[in-house]
Amino acid sequence: MPSLHFPDRLARLQGVLSRKRIDALLVTQPANRRYLSGYNAEDHGIQESAGVLLVPRRGQPFLLTDSRFLLQAEEEATGFAVRLYQQGLMATLSRLLPELRVRRLGFESHYLLHATAGRLARVTDKLKVELVPGTDFVEPLRIVKNNDEIAKLRAAVLLNEQVFQKVYRTIRPGMTESAIALDLETAMREMGAAGPSFPTIVAFGTNAAKPHAIPGSRVLAAGETVLIDMGLVLDGYCADMTRTVMVGEPAPLFRERLRIVRRAQLAAIQTIRAGVTCRQVDLAARRVIREAGYGACFGHALGHGVGLEVHEEPRLSSRSRKKLRAGMVVTVEPGIYLPDWGGIRLENMVVVREEGCEVLNRDTTFLDR
Ligand code: ZN
Ligand code: ZN
């Protein structure tokens, strides 16, 4: 059998299983499945899984899937034994768990339907296997990125910027939010991305006061702000970026508020280094916005980790006392939102380093105006 894509990742997971005295782990979370095996199939929601991994503490790992995915599974998850669950996952586990002498089976309790967990419990009860729920078997391994992952994230960020620049030039009064969002997502695919990493946000004027606005049929008027939050997936890794622009000459109040948000972003970026808590970084940005008189206008957390998923650990929140470690990749996205005026958000991605951080975004045209 060909060798594993990521023997180091599997070895680290097996170390976790040993420490928790777990004989095997059932991996149902799709990004975790991909991270460990290289298997790249997509789930159409939690009810339509493209397969699960069964990783024993020692020896051969398995990928359990159905016939639709057999060829892809064998091509991508090299080193994994691919088994089809013709009679369903539970029937396969009923045979495989005794074969592997599993007494304690870990499962991802944050990514298994209650109904599926019930069926699993009936199987394991019968086999006298103990179920061990957990939410942090694989995620802690993913939180620090290696150089190869950082290179992929950098490439995703740069392509995302190119897509933005291309579409930005075509934005004119009279266009709708949803037309611009569609142009951005089309350009992502045309320029080589697998697709958007989340539904693109385009919000004009007061609509931008909602941090997660949904693009609609609103028509752009001259002198309105345009908030664009967009991301793409390239080689499995996600980009996430927000720019807020005004088409034509920016109004003085817009410029003033944009500068405050940019200063908040830079204050956070200057704080980021290994050993600093997430809370300290969030507060560095929040202080700038508060001192400018907009403290009540910045409700959400400052940022989040990005990797195989667009939102992952760590969260840059004022409540998190988690320490940053070198190799983590996070967004820095302060904003100011006023219901009767609109909103401004700027979002870049940075890599945490021992002595500071590296901003992955290259283009500052739309940040310092
Ligand atoms: Zn974003
Ligand atoms: Zn974000």
Query: Which ligand gives the minimal distance to the CA of 302?
Result: 2
Say whether pTM exceeds 0.85.
yes
Radius of gyration of the chain (CA): 23
pLDDT tens digits along 178-198: 999 999 999 999 999 999 999
CATH says 147-359 is which class? Answer: alpha beta
For 202-253, write each residue's pLDDT tens digit.
999 999 999 889 999 999 999 999 999 999 999 999 999 999 999 888 899 9
Per-residue pLDDT of 44-86, as tens digits, reads 888 899 999 999 999 999 999 999 999 999 999 999 999 999 8
Ligand 2 centroid – CA 19 distance (Å): 34
Q: Are 97 and 129 in contact (CB under 8 A)?
A: yes
Interval 282-307: pLDDT, tens: 999 999 999 999 999 999 999 999 99
Residue whose pair of structure tokens reads 């401004």 in the numeric block: 344
Model confidence pLDDT, tens digit, residues 201-213:
999 999 999 988 9
Q: Say whether pLDDT at 1 is over 70.
A: no
Cα 308 to ligand 2 centre (Å): 14
CA angle 96, 98, 104 (to 5 degrees): 100
Calculate how far, in angstroms, residue 341's C-alpha sits from the geometric centre of ligand 1: 21
Going from the Cα of 81 to the center of ligand 1, the distance in angstroms, rounded, reads 38
Predicted pLDDT of residue 247: 84
Ranges in the chain annotated CATH 3.40.350.10? 5-142
CATH code for the part of the protein at 5-142: 3.40.350.10
**Chain-centre distance of CA 257, in angstroms?**
28
Ligand whose nearest atom lies closest to the CA of 242: 1
What separation in Å is there between the alpha carbon of 350 and the centre of ligand 1?
A: 13
Give dist(CA 92, CA 52) in Å, integer: 11
DSSP state letters, 91-153: HHHHHHHHHTT-SEEEEETTSS-HHHHHHHHHHHHHHTPEEEEES-SSHHHHSS--HHHHHHH
In sequence order, the 6+-apart residues with CB closer than 8 A to the CB of 192 are 159, 234
CATH code 3.90.230.10 region(s) in the chain = 147-359
What residues contact residue 135 under an 8 Å CB cut-off, 6+ apart?
108, 109, 110
